[in-house]
Structures are given as structure tokens and as C-alpha cells.
Chain A
Amino acid sequence: MSFIIPKEIYTGRIPEIVFGKDKIARLGGETALPMHFFEGDFPNKPLIAFEIQDTKPEDYPQELAKIYSSVWDDPIRWARFCEALGAKAITVRLMSIHPDSKDSKPEEVADRLRKFLTEVDLPLIILGSNHIEKDAEVLPVVADVSRGYNCIVGKAQEGNYKTIAASAMAAGHSLIAMSELDVNLAKQLNILITQIGFPKEKIIIDPMCSALGYGFEYTYSVMERIRIAGLVQQDSMLCSPLFADVGFYVWKTKEAQASEEDVPQWGSLYERSFMWEAITACSFLLSGAELIVMRHPDAIRVTERFIDDLFSLRQ
């Protein structure tokens, strides 16, 4: 008698997000738990987006500076450089708007973004600075300027979702909704966002990311619970693609920064740092992340290779 793999029957389908204008990118659309190719459809591979910032980064450690310092004064050059490295999508993080950074005014950001949009044709994710009030002030302007470019904007949080979601809806963008490591809060935020009329199938959940060794398993387990609720327990409010802001968290860690002189037993800083990012990202693929924002090109290369290897099993 031959062995028959027992199969779970799913009732949900993760909505497919298609974004970009001239060049487009797709993610989501699957009908089974991550990599369960034998149980459902997986029309799209998880997507990695290269992160750039709208101002010279203040906290990029040595290994990132080596790669980006020649282009990071100019977001357009930076984006083109990423494209040359093989980027399928770009994430622009508007760090300049943070009050502790340059506190840029919405109009300044809008002017720079207008120019950026005419010069860069990769699918775009636009993130604020994670400052509730300032993001609420700037992101609506940014959403409006990029109207027609079919972007993903974020992050909408409990404290600012109304203005951000309303403007993203008016401009036709998809939206990243972030809650803090709690499946119930993630559900609640999605309910609130849909209650103001934002289309549910254009929401991407960010359950709040973390780096390997720094609370990684909290994010992993919340992602798992969200995905199971959405696909297995028919919870439509949690049936959404998942977002992982990996680079942002990984490159703050000691392992990605400590020099070889300080910790010789940890080996090569280059390998250690980019692999920290790659392993964090690869692990989140297994808990269901469909959209991952990363920084180091070698980490992205390893992660994409991992995705391709796994997806070679897709039937």
C-alpha cells in the first residue's frame, strides 16, 4: 500500500496584492500554509524589496555603508543601484520626516517623491518613520502625490490609521497595517480599517518584526497564528498577506555590528552580518511572510535562492 499524505482542507485564500505602474510585482494569492505546496495553490513567490531611505541613513553600520555610502545621498541613484543589483521592488523609508531626524515637512517630501517617481519605475513601497503623529501628517500627502502609481503605503497603526488608510484608499494604494505583536490587536486593526471603507483585500498585516535573537520567536508565532486563523479558521479579518520589516531590525543588532577586533570568536563581520539578515528573513518565510524588506544585497541573494529552492517543489 502506498503512503498517502494527509491533506488539510483550507477555506480561505490570501488575497493577491499587485502593485507598481510600469513594472509590477505580485505577492500572496495562496490557499495553504506556507510552503505546503501539496495542499494548495501558490501563484506567487514571496517578494523581497530592497530598502532605501529618503535621506542619508544615520544608523547604517559598516557592512551596509561599504555598499551604499556612494549612493545614499541621492535616493534616485540609490534606487537605480538596487535595480542594478537585481531589485524587483523598492521600499523607500521616509526617515527624514522623523522629528529626531530632519523633521522634513510634507511638502518637501512630496516634491522629492514626485521627482523620484518620474525617475524610478520599480514597484514601490513607501514607509513613514514610525512616528505616529508625523506619519499621519506626511503619509496622506505622499499617498496623494503617488496617486496612479499603485504603491503600497504604511504603516497604519492604531493611533493613525484613519488618515493614512483614508488617503491610501483615495489614491488606490495597498496598505500595511501594523500592530504590536498580538493576534487580537492585528484583527482589531483590520476591522477598524475596513470599517472606514478600506478594501480588505488590499491590506497587508505587519505583526511587528524582530531580529533573530531579539524576540524573533514572538513575531514568528504571531505570524503563524494569523495565518492559521485566516486560512484554517475562516477568520476573514486575518486572511491577509504578511509583511516583515527584516532589515530595519537586524541591522540594529550587536551581531550585525560588532567588529572582529571586539569579538574575534564570532568570525567574519561581513558573513556574520549579512547571514543574520538572511536567516531572519528565511525563517519568516516559513511562518508566512510574503513581503520582506531587506538591506544587504548578499542577504537578499541568499534569501531569494532559498525561495527558489523551496518553490522548485511547487506542483
Chain B
Amino acid sequence: MLVIGERLSIISKRVREAIQMRDKLPIQQIAFEQWQAGAHMIEANIGPAEEDGERLMEWMVTTIQEAVPLPVSLDTTNPKAMEAGLRVHNNQWGKPLINSTSLDPDRFIMFELAAKYNAPVIALTVGKRGLPANAEERVEIAVQLIEKASEFGISLEDIYLDPLVMQISTSQSQAKEVLRAIRLFQELNDPPMKTVVGLSNLSNGCPKHIRPIINRYYLALLMYEGVSAAIVNPAEVIEVIKTINVITGKTLYAHSYLEI
């Protein structure tokens, strides 16, 4: 499973301040910590970035890649900022990931960028009617997303379908629907469609001390359903990932499996 480190997000106060000050050190330190903890990719979430988005995304991507030999997942709704990030991304360690597009026509430009830069893209299963109510609705939207992507000439293996993990504290029944959606998405193609989740949204709004517990158990279930990528705090979930990989036979057991 592809592990995408979530910690470089504009939502975090420490990150926001570093961005405002253009202070590389905290950004690079967080990137480095996530790499050490097992991340395969670093998410750079700069939000809408309406002002100066292009220069900001360029700065984030180069700052991260100066510190770690990993590709970057670019998270912004600003297409210009997205393109700027794709342009400066160093592909030596892998392709960048576009986070994200959806059925919202304003976001179709992300498909265009994915085609232009030959980059994989996260497709959120958000429909015209807003948030999906169950797994079946998610699948319906996913089918439309796949068709849309094909119009732009994007190959199916470059699409990561995101079923949208919701808050357990307010939308408890959705947790199970997302698990079902992960399974159903894969059946839309052979080889199976790729899937991704933003894990920690599940525990958003929960007391701080139980958040990691909820996240960890949920990730185990998601992995069992076959999720291909997850945006996570790597240090929080790496033991889960290693253990589930052993239980499902993806890695070979050895007594010290947690140490490698």
C-alpha cells in the first residue's frame, strides 16, 4: 500500500506559520520525519491558495524534495498552483500525484493536467448532488469519473478513486459504506481500479486521545478490503500497515518484522 504522509497541511498551525514565513526548516523536518516513519510520498496541502498559489506550490515541492527523495502529492484547488507544482516536481523518485479532481466541472482541469504531465490523479466520488449516501452511489459516481478520465486520455491505472471518508462522530454509517465502496471500486476494472483514502478525516472531531485508535483500526479494515493508497500520519499507522501486510501474506513474516 502506498503511504502518503499527510502532515504538511495548511490546516496545521506549525505548517501554516512556516509557509507564511517561507521557513524551510520546519517543512523539511516534517517531511523527513514522515519519510523516516515509512512514507512513500509526501502530501503538500496548500488549500485554495488563491494568492500567490503558483510560487507557494513551487516552494513547497522544491523544499520537500530538497529534504527527502520522495515524490509529492499536490493538494490544492488552484489549477495554476497545481500546474506550477507539477512543473517543478523532480520525477527522479516517482511521479507526482494530483489531489484531486471530481465530477465538479470546475475540477475537470485537473484531468487535463494529469494528461499533460502524465501524472496519476485522485478522483473524489463527489457527485452533482453533493456527498454520496452509500457505496452504490459512490460506485455510480466512480463510473462517471472513469468515463470522464478516459475522455482526457488518462489510463485507468493512473486514477485513484477516493470514496471520501467521513467523520465517524457525525456520519457513523458512512464508515461501513466506504469499506464496501473500496471493494466495489476494484471490481470496476481488471486489473482492479486503484483506491485511496484520507484516513484521519474519520476521527476528525473526536477526542484527541482516541483519534489514533480509530484511525488504526479503520486502516486495518481498509487494507483488508484492498485499499491501494492512504493519506496518513505514517508514524501513527506504520505498525498497522506492517502487521496487516504480514497477516495478508504481502510480506514475509520474521520476528523482527516491525523493525524493518
Q: In the bound complex, do residue B256 and residue A188 qualify as a contact, i.e. CB atoms below 8 Å apart?
A: yes
Q: Bound state CA distance, A185 and B255, in angstroms?
A: 8
Q: In the bound complex, do residue A191 and residue B252 qualify as a contact, i.e. CB atoms below 8 Å apart?
A: no
Q: Which residues of A contact B252 (CB under 8 A)?
A: 183-184, 187, 229, 233, 235, 238
Interface of A is mostly: helix
- Is A85's CB within 8 Å of the partner chain B? no
Q: In the bound complex, do residue A233 and residue B251 qualify as a contact, i.e. CB atoms below 8 Å apart?
A: yes
Q: Bound state CA distance, A184 and B246, in angstroms?
A: 11
- Is B21's CB within 8 Å of the partner chain A? no
Q: In the bound complex, do residue B255 and residue A237 qualify as a contact, i.e. CB atoms below 8 Å apart?
A: no
Q: CB within 8 A of A235: which of B251, B255, B256?
A: B251
Q: In the bound complex, do residue A191 and residue B256 qualify as a contact, i.e. CB atoms below 8 Å apart?
A: yes
CB distance from A309 to the nearest CB of B (A): 33
Q: Bound state CA distance, A187 and B255, in angstroms?
A: 9
Indicate with 1 or 0, residue by residue over A234-247, a CB within 8 angstroms of chain B CB atoms. Answer: 01111000000000
Q: In the bound complex, do residue A195 and residue B256 qualify as a contact, i.e. CB atoms below 8 Å apart?
A: yes
Among B250, B251, B252, B253, max chain A CB count under 10 A is at: B252
Q: Bound state CA distance, A236 and B257, in angstroms?
A: 12
Q: In the bound complex, do residue A184 and residue B256 qualify as a contact, i.e. CB atoms below 8 Å apart?
A: no
Q: Which residues of B contact A229 (CB under 8 A)?
A: 252
Indicate with 1 or 0, residue by residue over B223-260, a CB within 8 angstroms of chain A CB atoms. Answer: 00000000000000000000000000011111110011
Q: Which residues of B contact A236 (CB under 8 A)?
A: 260
Q: Which residues of B contact A233 (CB under 8 A)?
A: 250-252
Residue of A nearest to B249 (CB): A233
- Is A263's CB within 8 Å of the partner chain B? no
Indicate with 1 or 0, residue by residue over A173-217, a CB within 8 angstroms of chain B CB atoms. Answer: 000000000011101100110010000000000000000000000
Residue of B nearest to A186 (CB): B254
Indicate with 1 or 0, residue by residue over B91-130, a CB within 8 angstroms of chain A CB atoms. Answer: 0000000000000000000000000000000000000000
Q: In the bound complex, do residue B259 and residue A191 qualify as a contact, i.e. CB atoms below 8 Å apart?
A: yes
CB distance from B9 to the nearest CB of A (A): 29
Q: Which residues of A contact B250 (CB under 8 A)?
A: 233
Q: In the bound complex, do residue B256 and residue A192 qualify as a contact, i.e. CB atoms below 8 Å apart?
A: yes
CB distance from B254 to the nearest CB of A (A): 4
Among A183, A188, A238, max chain B CB count under 10 A is at: A188
Q: In the bound complex, do residue A188 and residue B254 qualify as a contact, i.e. CB atoms below 8 Å apart?
A: yes
Sort chain A's interface into a size bin. Answer: 10 to 19
Q: In the bound complex, do residue B254 and residue A195 qualify as a contact, i.e. CB atoms below 8 Å apart?
A: no
Interface residues in B41-62 (C-beta closer than 8 Å to A): none
Q: In the bound complex, do residue A191 and residue B260 qualify as a contact, i.e. CB atoms below 8 Å apart?
A: yes
Q: Bound state CA distance, A236 and B256, in angstroms?
A: 14
Indicate with 1 or 0, residue by residue over A212-234, a CB within 8 angstroms of chain B CB atoms. Answer: 00000000000000000100010
Q: Bound state CA distance, A185 and B259, in angstroms?
A: 15
CB distance from B257 to the nearest CB of A (A): 8
Q: Bound state CA distance, A191 and B260, in angstroms?
A: 8
CB distance from B128 to the nearest CB of A (A): 40
Q: Which residues of A contact B251 (CB under 8 A)?
A: 233, 235
Q: Bound state CA distance, A238 and B256, in angstroms?
A: 14
Interface residues in A231-267 (C-beta closer than 8 Å to B): 233, 235-238
Q: In the bound complex, do residue A237 and residue B259 qualify as a contact, i.e. CB atoms below 8 Å apart?
A: no
CB distance from B29 to the nearest CB of A (A): 26
CB distance from A237 to the nearest CB of B (A): 6
Q: Which residues of A contact B260 (CB under 8 A)?
A: 191, 236-237
Q: Bound state CA distance, A58 and B134, in angstroms?
A: 76
Q: Which residues of A contact B254 (CB under 8 A)?
A: 184-185, 187-188, 191, 237
Q: Bound state CA distance, A52 and B63, in angstroms?
A: 58
CB distance from A88 to the nearest CB of B (A): 33
Q: Which residues of B contact A235 (CB under 8 A)?
A: 251-252
Residue of A nearest to B256 (CB): A191
Q: Which residues of A contact B259 (CB under 8 A)?
A: 191, 195
Q: Bound state CA distance, A229 and B246, in angstroms?
A: 13
Q: Bound state CA distance, A191 and B253, in angstroms?
A: 11
Q: Which residues of B contact A238 (CB under 8 A)?
A: 252
Q: List 26 A-B contacts (CB under 8 A).
A: A183-B252, A184-B252, A184-B253, A184-B254, A185-B254, A187-B252, A187-B253, A187-B254, A188-B254, A188-B256, A191-B254, A191-B256, A191-B259, A191-B260, A192-B256, A195-B256, A195-B259, A229-B252, A233-B250, A233-B251, A233-B252, A235-B251, A235-B252, A237-B254, A237-B260, A238-B252
Pairs of residues from A and B, 4 with the lowest C-beta to C-beta distance, nearest first: A188-B254, A187-B254, A191-B256, A188-B255
B interface, CB within 8 angstroms of A: 250-256, 259-260
- Known: A185-B254, A191-B256, A191-B260; 15 extra A-B contacts, CB below 8 A, are A183-B252, A184-B252, A184-B253, A184-B254, A187-B252, A187-B254, A188-B255, A191-B254, A192-B256, A195-B256, A195-B259, A233-B250, A235-B251, A235-B252, A237-B260
